[in-house]
Structure 1
Amino acid sequence: MAVPYADCCAIFYRITMLPRVDRAPLRGVIERRRASQAYSLNPGDFLPLNSGRVTGTGLILIDMLSSTTRQTTDAGFLRRFHLRSLEHQRPLSAITMAFAVVAYLSFVATRSVVGGPMPGLQYRLACGLCLALLAMAMPRAKTPWACGAIGVAYVLTLQAGIALNVSGVASPLLWALPAMVMVVMGAAPLWLTPTQFLFGTVAFYAAGLPVLLNVHETRGAHLVCWMWIGISVLSAAVLHGCFYWLRRNHFLLEDRLVQLAATDPLTGLQNRRAFKEGAETLLSTPDGSAKFSAIFVDIDYFKSLNDRFGHSVGDQMLHEVAQILKAQTSADDNVSRIGGEEFALLRRGGLRSAVGFAETLRVAISGIARPDGALTASFGVAEYRAGESFMSLLDRADEALLRAKHSGRNRVCAERAAADDAARLKPLQLPDSDAHASGASRREPLRQPWDDHYLTSHFQPLYSLSHQKQVGFEALLRGERDDGSVIAPAILFAPKPFTSESDLDRVSHALHLANAARVIPDDVWVFLNILPVSFVAEGYADQLAGFARSVGLSPERVVLELLESHGGSVDDLSRAAAQYREHGFLIAVDDFGAGHSNLDRLFQIRPDLVKLDGELIRATSPGAQQPILPKLVSLLHQAGMLVVVEGVETTDELILAVESNVDFAQGYLLGRPAATITPPEPVNRRIDHAFDVLAEGRAHQHARFELELHPYRLALDLAAQAYSGGVPLEEAFAPLATFELCISCFILDESGRQIGLEVNGMASAKAGDSLQPVANPRDARWDHRPYFRNAVLRPGVPVTSSPYLSLASGRPCIAVTIAVPTEQGRCVVGVELDWSLDRLPWPAAD
């Protein structure tokens, strides 16, 4: 599509005002066009600029300004222009024609007072009546051709009236010439098209030609008549041409302004106002059988794109998404940029076809590359319901979009099921005979139909390590086909457009509680996974408690495991937890240590149990490679929460769980999920064996630890005696400083402050410079450390600390200290040992 040269200059000027633009290529293109007198530019001429030197906004500006002149070559431009001209011209034409009727009647009245033979008055008045009727018909003309036809009929009737009135006068040219001149000139601006002007003018003079030829006048009078007719025709042509040109330019300007007012300047799509107006017009069509669907699109993580890479990159991403929407949609689809990174579409078709189309758009958008990966978008789809407003339709699509974003983004979600689909989402209905069933019939698990498969429950046991028995079962959802084959979890829990995660979540609760009442023992807990969005749902606490009681389960036996997922703020979760506790439910936080889990979340929700993510049992501290599980369990116990560790798969992990004082354990080593309950005795013996192994290992580990430290205690005792006997500091500690693990030797006064400089040992050379600002212990105070307090409480006895992270060296260390008397008073003599080597045993207990 070509752009006029004047617009090209405007584009060039506005582009030069943008930052980071290499102007030389554009200037060269315009100069070459001007030199060749090809005063137009094509979009391809701007392709060399699309190399990162021009912002996305600049490219859109070029496209927008070029698109505003597109109507000059549109096939429907003339029709739109003429229809718009018709709206403007009908009132003016009607007024002008009415004035001409008045002038004609004046002409008739004047002719009646002049002598000479004349046609009957009724004929001349009949022409006036026809003229009046045509003037009244003009405002009702619906098409330009109807307007032209009325105009031609009007001038022909007017010509007939002129002929009747000039008949019988002495000088007919004197009477007819003014009308011949003024009618053509007065009607010239009112013709909608040049064709109508030409046809109407020719018809007017052709109808009056017989009158002019039959008039007996002098040759000079005829020449004057034809001269004025020629002048009138030329003047009328000029008037019509100028007026037509003005109307056309006015329409171009108006059309451009309307288009700009209805267009998003960045993407070239409709803006929100135009989209709403167009959609309301489309939905108001009388065809009640037509189906329409709205699609809401939101680019994922768009704010981070702007924040990290700049708004020019964000603008470019918006432009590319808009181009995909334009390419994938048809002229019948209503497409708009609603605002920010949100787009909306209204298209013909039902919900399922719209969901399929949205999935096509999702895949296409995921092919757009952004600087940190691939662009993705979330989609919400809703189908128009008869009688509702467009904003209601858009709200339902927006609600589906929010669910798509909360369930992980980069997916398509349809509106929630309507009332006629609600039966599919009802909780499991137990058979009427179930309450009276007993024995084997109550032990058979129930299944729930869902899509093209069935949902069923599997249960995985949890054990109390101290009690060495089963204390609960976690209910896990599984999918089965008719032939008994198992559906992979990735397929079972894959996002589906027509059902949300909360729909599946609620159905699973009813299924699990009903099956738990059938198969698990009466003296254990049932652990039920629940999504935050279900947990905070209004009234769901009452509904869940009611259903639990209906199947024979007391809410006190149900532990709700709050899953790591989107949906619900921490404040909402905390308020909801209080409602569940009123019914007797216990609350657990699942997968602590992964995702959004943090201590603040725990302290606000205050769960009864915390389930640690399985990876935490295998996590170790850097350097010493010691497990962090014991410290974490201790912290949670101090916060008043019981601890469940998941993912126990080996005997070593079970032993670590016992050693870490974990309350409950779960994992494949203790039992796999199954539809039936396995006997607990083998697992009880395995836990008991873990206690035995731990007891034996603790004694062995203690012996190794004491054996490793024995030489250092003896050497420290000798150094302390030498120092208290008056031997200088460096000389007294010289033998101890040669030991392999010795980092430094030091002396603290009664207040815990260091006396003199420390004596560096063999292991001090491994210390880096990263902790240099705190490496010098001068003026430091250490009386808060256990190794100082314990030494003061047991004077003369070497005291060994637990491993700690040294502030001076940044390594796991152990301090051996002893309190001795000196001439300056009692002091604490100590040595810091490097305990970061893998071969070194750690104490069995803190």
Structure 2
Amino acid sequence: MSATSTQHLPDPGLRDRFHRRALEHQRPLSTVTTAYTVVAFLCMVGARNLVGAPAAPLAYRLLCALVLLLLVLAIPAAKSPWLFGAIGVAYMQVLLAGLALNIAGLAQPLLWVLPALVAIPVCAAPLWLTPAHFFIGSALFYAAAFALLPGEAHPHDVDVVMGMWIVAIGVPTSIVFHFAFYRFRRNHFLLENQLAELAATDPLTGLQNRRAFVKQAERRLDAIMPDVQVSAIFLDLDNFKSLNDRCGHAIGDHALHQVAQVLMDETTGNDSVSRFGGEEFAVLLHDGLDRALQLAERLRVAIAAIERPDGSLTASFGVAEHRHGESIMVLLDRADEALLRAKHSGRNRVCAARALPLETLRRVASDAHEEGGEESERGAAQRYRWEDFYLISHFQPLYSLSHQKQVGFEALLRGEKDDGTLVPPAVMFAPKPSNDESALDRASHAVHLGNACRALPGDAWLFLNILPATFIADGYADRLATIVRSAGFETERVILEILESHGGSVDDMSRAAALYREYGFLIAVDDFGAGQSNLDRLLRIRPDLVKLDGELIRATTHGTEQPILPKLVSLLHQAGMLVVVEGVETTDELILAVESNVDFAQGYLLGRPAAEIAPPESVHRQIDEAFDVIAQGRAHQHALFESEVEPYRIALRIAADVLLAGTIVDDAFATLATFERCISCFILDASGRQIGHEVPGPAWSKEGASLHPVANPRDARWDHRPYFRNAVLLPGVTVTSNPYLSLASGRPCIAVTLALQLATGRAVIGVELDWAELGLPWPAGE
């Protein structure tokens, strides 16, 4: 029987699993059976006390019962077959000792023990897990029985009868029972094992199928220690569908079988290998990323040596290292992401999963610590591998125009090839099917923070671009705060620039902005004036700074070509936001930024993006010179403007004197109405409504026809206009307004007005001047 067992279970590992599986099944039955035997023994002790013959002390017999009970309680705790067998042997020896004590002093002890000598081995036979246990336990039982039981004189026929019961009935029956149950358990286990293997095996390749692979991987990941490295390799055969389509599925199946053989040859018994589905395969190995990449490269070369009718078989690989607490599916998803990059970057290659931003930052800190000292803090910029190039940081300075100094640096992501040349941004940021824009965005934050702690002055702001999708991602505010602190930064020194050109839900961004502010971050809206930017988004997000798109500094009003920047900056300041203007490339644009009361400026004129921070002294001089130019130009501009409008002031005062003398309106304005830029002369009453008709001038004919519904000034009241209010505040003084867009004419105009007391009451007289011609001076305050 032992030989038969070995023949069916040749694998020691399989035999061991069978015995352990049998142990799981036997524990409940053995516990119940032995417990019942304890009860039977106590009944026998009770029956013995009813006999008047001398007996062994009751305490000894009850002690045997107690030991038997303890052995029963030990059965559920038995973790190995040998321990289970040892408990069985001990149980039978103690039971025999109890029987010997119980029959001591009896006249015919064999009548008491013969049934037990037959029944106990027979009943115990199915409970022994292995033949070895059975033979050892039974032999020791009979040897102890003949040694312990008293050998009193009895007739020869009694010996014959006892031998017949034991040898002819007890021993053969126990042998049959044991091996019958053993064979039943073995066949059940083999069937169960075969079904499990069929359920867990891919029938074509013989590898694990997906379900079995995931289940086994989950058990392994749950059992590993935190310091143990585990990696996953995900591979996909390139252009496999074309092989099936051109050559047939039989050729394709053969190729899959060859790939499976390569995987089995290159991996060890401790690795899990699976056909994950179709032409996809997965490997889980107890090694770090570097060793997994080496294995993947060996597999790639080996698979590339497999011939197919139309060339050679190739495969693309994605490799990821397990992170603590990560599930198998998340690990495989990261490996799959790397596989997609391998596919889209040319196939037949190995790509590694990208590191988390926090891991990247820790690598920065670790490298700096190993290098040590001031030299490491101000050493060369760190590079981080991303696809087939490195990620590096370039910093572009921002200047406070009022303070005339660097106050911050915008971090810009760049790609660098192995030879040191830069990857064109159009290539680096080109949309790709495998490109996870948010992943690159998050990685850039750790890269920039790692390099900023080395390159930036200690009191400067760091401007980080952030995509709306990243900005509103759940938990990223907390994660980014952790990364910032790990870099040795304060969150108060980090300004997050939301890229307005990428859109996003304004409600989500508004809620996210409030959360980031709780961590101490400042918020900026980038590229205002491009994409989906508008004032409503600004007023709901409430950024601390607004970065104006570079085109806005060059934008002008229609007709007069006057810059709109001053008015826009004034509007944003009134909304409580500081203003940064980008794209300052010329001295004239710098002067305009200063003149427009811009808070901060950046651009190629002030500093190009670079890995190293350039000395700011020359820029300080440029800004200072811009202030000087503005101071000088303001006086000149004022003089030009005054010289242009002074004749109209004089003529208006003359017209006022004539009106006060009682001259009619047409005659009073006759001279003023002949001036070149005069659109019309008018009189407004105390409520701002026009009195009588206006007197047209030479510029009247230029009136825009498209504004006919509002072209008649007599239909409106104008006391809300600054030119009316200022005149009323300064009666008797001619007041000149700033340029405004006239509703009556649809053109930029200037009004010269004067408040006086007519016989009919207080009035304001004035002249509206056409100020749309290019080259006309504007007030210095505009």
Whether 1:421 aligns to 2:421 is no
Distance in 1 separating the partners of 2:483 and 2:399: 27
Whether 1:432 aligns to 2:366 is yes
What's the secondary structure of 2:750's corresponding residue? Answer: strand
Q: 1:620 to 1:290 in 2, by over 3 A?
A: farther
Q: Where does residue 479 of structure 2 map in the other structure?
A: 543
Whether 1:833 aligns to 2:766 is no
Per the TM alignment, residue 779 of structure 1 is displaced from its structure 2 partner at its CA by 3.3
Per the TM alignment, residue 544 of structure 1 is displaced from its structure 2 partner at its CA by 1.1
Matches within 5 A, 1:398-547: 421=353, 423=355, 427-428=360-361, 429-432=363-366, 434-435=368-369, 437-444=372-379, 445-547=381-483
1:620 equivalent among 546, 556, 560: 556
Please tell me whether the aligned partners of residues 509 and 528 of structure 1 are also in contact (alpha carbons under 8 angstroms). Answer: yes
Per the TM alignment, residue 479 of structure 1 is displaced from its structure 2 partner at its CA by 1.1
> What are the Cα deviations for residues 541-588 of structure 1, in whole angstroms up to 9, with x where unaligned?
111111111121111111111113547411111111112111111110
Q: Where does residue 121 of structure 1 map in the other structure?
A: none
What's the secondary structure of 1:427's corresponding residue? Answer: helix
Q: 1:579 to 1:289 in 2, by over 3 A?
A: farther
Q: Where does residue 686 of structure 1 map in the other structure?
A: 622
Whether 1:645 aligns to 2:578 is no
Please tell me whether the aligned partners of residues 291 and 350 of structure 1 are also in contact (alpha carbons under 8 angstroms). Answer: no
Please tell me whether the aligned partners of residues 365 and 450 of structure 2 are also in contact (alpha carbons under 8 angstroms). Answer: no
1:734 equivalent among 664, 670, 686: 670
Q: 1:578 to 1:290 in 2, by over 3 A?
A: farther
TM-score of the superposition, structure 1-length normalised? 0.52
Per the TM alignment, residue 728 of structure 1 is displaced from its structure 2 partner at its CA by 0.9
Amino acid at match of 2:613: I
Q: Where does residue 760 of structure 2 map in the other structure?
A: 824
Aligned length: 471
Distance in 2 separating the partners of 1:668 and 1:422: 33
Amino acid at match of 1:504: L
Distance in 2 separating the partners of 1:290 and 1:827: 100
Amino acid at match of 1:698: R
Q: 1:801 to 1:565 in 2, by over 3 A?
A: closer
Distance in 2 separating the partners of 1:286 and 1:502: 40
Matches within 5 A, 1:274-673: 287=204, 349=279, 421=353, 423=355, 427-428=360-361, 429-432=363-366, 434-435=368-369, 437-444=372-379, 445-566=381-502, 568-673=504-609
What's the secondary structure of 2:666's corresponding residue? Answer: helix
Please tell me whether the aligned partners of residues 413 and 499 of structure 1 are also in contact (alpha carbons under 8 angstroms). Answer: no
Whether 1:776 aligns to 2:712 is yes
Amino acid at match of 2:752: V
Per the TM alignment, residue 292 of structure 1 is displaced from its structure 2 partner at its CA by 13
What's the secondary structure of 2:768's corresponding residue? Answer: strand
After TM superposition, the structure 1 stretch with the greater mean CA deviation from structure 2, 509-518 or 496-505, is 496-505
Distance in 1 separating the partners of 2:737 and 2:208: 77
Please tell me whether the aligned partners of residues 503 and 531 of structure 2 are also in contact (alpha carbons under 8 angstroms). Answer: no
Distance in 2 separating the partners of 1:571 and 1:826: 52
Q: 1:816 to 1:330 in 2, by over 3 A?
A: farther
Per the TM alignment, residue 698 of structure 1 is displaced from its structure 2 partner at its CA by 0.4
Q: Where does residue 750 of structure 1 map in the other structure?
A: 686
What's the secondary structure of 2:592's corresponding residue? Answer: helix
Distance in 2 separating the partners of 1:350 and 1:722: 99
Distance in 2 separating the partners of 1:839 and 1:678: 39
Please tell me whether the aligned partners of residues 744 and 759 of structure 1 are also in contact (alpha carbons under 8 angstroms). Answer: yes
Please tell me whether the aligned partners of residues 611 and 645 of structure 1 are also in contact (alpha carbons under 8 angstroms). Answer: yes
Distance in 2 separating the partners of 1:763 and 1:781: 22
> What are the Cα deviations for residues 341-378 of structure 1, in whole angstroms up to 9, with x where unaligned?
xxxxxx955599xxxxxxxxxxxxxxxxxxxxxxxxxx
TM-score of the superposition, structure 2-length normalised? 0.56
Q: 1:690 to 1:743 in 2, by over 3 A?
A: same
Amino acid at match of 2:780: A
Amino acid at match of 1:556: E
Q: 1:503 to 1:625 in 2, by over 3 A?
A: same
Matches within 5 A, 1:778-817: 778-817=714-753
Distance in 1 separating the partners of 2:409 and 2:450: 14
**How many percent of aligned residue pairs carry the same amino acid?**
65
Please tell me whether the aligned partners of residues 584 and 605 of structure 2 are also in contact (alpha carbons under 8 angstroms). Answer: yes
Runs of 5+ consecutive residues of structure 2 not aligned to the other structure: 1-200, 211-240, 250-276, 283-316, 319-328
What's the secondary structure of 1:839's corresponding residue? Answer: coil
Q: 1:413 to 1:589 in 2, by over 3 A?
A: farther
Please tell me whether the aligned partners of residues 354 and 386 of structure 2 are also in contact (alpha carbons under 8 angstroms). Answer: no
Q: Where does residue 711 of structure 1 map in the other structure?
A: 647
Q: 1:776 to 1:424 in 2, by over 3 A?
A: closer
Distance in 1 separating the partners of 2:504 and 2:758: 64
Please tell me whether the aligned partners of residues 613 and 647 of structure 1 are also in contact (alpha carbons under 8 angstroms). Answer: yes
Distance in 2 separating the partners of 1:816 and 1:602: 37
Distance in 1 separating the partners of 2:572 and 2:367: 46
Distance in 1 separating the partners of 2:503 and 2:723: 48
Per the TM alignment, residue 451 of structure 1 is displaced from its structure 2 partner at its CA by 1.2
Please tell me whether the aligned partners of residues 684 and 763 of structure 2 are also in contact (alpha carbons under 8 angstroms). Answer: yes
Please tell me whether the aligned partners of residues 400 and 406 of structure 2 are also in contact (alpha carbons under 8 angstroms). Answer: yes
Please tell me whether the aligned partners of residues 532 and 565 of structure 1 are also in contact (alpha carbons under 8 angstroms). Answer: no
Distance in 2 separating the partners of 1:619 and 1:567: 23
Per the TM alignment, residue 329 of structure 1 is displaced from its structure 2 partner at its CA by 12
What's the secondary structure of 2:382's corresponding residue? Answer: coil
Per the TM alignment, residue 497 of structure 1 is displaced from its structure 2 partner at its CA by 2.9
Per the TM alignment, residue 826 of structure 1 is displaced from its structure 2 partner at its CA by 1.5
Please tell me whether the aligned partners of residues 740 and 749 of structure 2 are also in contact (alpha carbons under 8 angstroms). Answer: yes
Q: 1:498 to 1:827 in 2, by over 3 A?
A: same
After TM superposition, the structure 1 stretch with the greater mean CA deviation from structure 2, 698-707 or 573-582, is 573-582
After TM superposition, the structure 1 stretch with the greater mean CA deviation from structure 2, 573-582 or 695-704, is 573-582
What's the secondary structure of 2:385's corresponding residue? Answer: strand
> What are the Cα deviations for residues 201-247 of structure 1, in whole angstroms up to 9, with x where unaligned?
xxxxxxxxxxxxxxxxxxxxxxxxxxxxxxxxxxxxxxxxxxxxxxx
Distance in 2 separating the partners of 1:328 and 1:780: 82
Distance in 2 separating the partners of 1:327 and 1:543: 45
**Runs of 4 or more consecutive aligned structure 1 residues displaced over 3 Å after TM superposition:** 284-293, 326-333, 347-352, 411-414, 418-428, 565-568
Please tell me whether the aligned partners of residues 590 and 613 of structure 1 are also in contact (alpha carbons under 8 angstroms). Answer: yes
Please tell me whether the aligned partners of residues 397 and 406 of structure 2 are also in contact (alpha carbons under 8 angstroms). Answer: yes
Amino acid at match of 2:555: A
Please tell me whether the aligned partners of residues 503 and 532 of structure 2 are also in contact (alpha carbons under 8 angstroms). Answer: no
Amino acid at match of 1:430: V
Please tell me whether the aligned partners of residues 679 and 770 of structure 2 are also in contact (alpha carbons under 8 angstroms). Answer: yes
Distance in 2 separating the partners of 1:443 and 1:568: 38
Q: 1:514 to 1:287 in 2, by over 3 A?
A: same
Distance in 1 separating the partners of 2:737 and 2:205: 84
Distance in 2 separating the partners of 1:555 and 1:518: 17
What's the secondary structure of 2:693's corresponding residue? Answer: coil
Distance in 2 separating the partners of 1:630 and 1:680: 26
Runs of 5+ consecutive residues of structure 1 not aligned to the other structure: 1-283, 294-325, 334-346, 353-381, 384-391, 405-410
Per the TM alignment, residue 327 of structure 1 is displaced from its structure 2 partner at its CA by 14
